[in-house]
Amino acid sequence: MVAALFVIDVQNDFTEGGALGVDGGAAVAAGITDYLRANPDRYDVVIASRDWHDADNSNGGHFATDAEPNFVDTWPVHCVAGTPGADYHAALDTSLVNVHVRKGQGVPAYSIFEGTTDDGETVPALLTRLGIDTVDVAGIATDYCVLASALDAAGSGRDVSVLTGLVAGVAPDSSAAALATMAETGIALVSSDA
């Protein structure tokens, strides 16, 4: 088995105090760091994604520019490329990350599969090249980008687990629904202690 960990959008704007901060975001950042340090040989590659939105447009309607955000399809301005809000949270030790992925460059993008590496490689191509057949998922937010990334990973034919102690969501109800959806599609929900 060749295993990858997806670290989804552990960014300042998605943690407490950010433009779209979720409760528990900073704890997820620290928890992922602790988990990787405690399990240095568990993954063949650690792949971290970041929203990396354009500053000068609505990013395909993703940013609410003409009306209030509905927090489903439209959002406040967040994770603008090159700003502190788009940076990884300081509690995430990025020296433990092997590959960095940017997504949402001018368009809405929730799944890591919609991004590209710093070298311009797509995530599906990267996973195929590395022979990845098992993916664990951690990060923010359970009910949006974690959900989309996990579903795409499962849809690509890989064995997928979500580390339930290392995710944080926008809202309790939608996070619970997201976890239920993942479980129904065969994604394993596992403790990060496992």
* 103 counts as catalytic: yes
Mean pLDDT by groups of 10 residues along the chain of 194 residues:
96 95 96 97 97 87 84 86 96 98 90 96 97 98 96 97 97 96 97 70
* 79 counts as catalytic: no
- Give residue 92's pLDDT: 98
Tokens of 73: 């399809």
Hey, what CATH topology would domain 3-133 get?
Answer: Rossmann fold (3.40.50)
Q: Are 8 and 153 in contact (CB under 8 A)?
A: no
Q: Catalytic residue among 79, 103, 136, 152, which?
A: 103
Burial 103-142 (b: 16+ CB within 10 A, else e): bbeeebbbbbbbbbbeeeeebeebbeeeebebbbbbbbbb
Q: Catalytic residue among 51, 79, 145, 152, which?
A: 145
- Give residue 33's pLDDT: 98
